[in-house]
Amino acid sequence: MDVVENGTYSLWRAKRAWNILMSSISYHLNGKSRSKKMGPRGVPTKEEDVVVIAWTLTMEKCGLFISQQQLKMQVAKLTQTKATPF
């Protein structure tokens, strides 16, 4: 990015030198990087943790085995009700 910003390389020359798309270079130069993730954070809140732990302990007290798939489904149920900014 530095060589393009200071004028040593043009976008075309940088593209050829490092085999990078010109649009990618342009996005980075203009602060429009596509690496930003959209949507809510992937970390559950403390309240969601408490609900999952309580469910897990209830299943354990009943003597029921919890598979990884069942745990994922329980977490999915909680996160689907989350409000998103979209």
How does pLDDT run across 38-85, given as a tens digit for each residue? Answer: 655 566 778 888 988 999 999 999 999 889 999 888 888 877 766 655
CA-wise closest residue to 3 among 25, 31, 21: 25
Average pLDDT over residues 21-35: 76
* pLDDT at position 4: 79
Q: Which ranges constitute the DSSP H helices of the chain?
A: 2-5, 11-18, 22-29, 46-61, 68-80
* pLDDT at position 72: 87
* pLDDT at position 26: 80
Task: Name the residue with tokens 């408490």.
Answer: 50
CA distance 46 to 56: 15
Regarding pTM above 0.75, the answer is: no
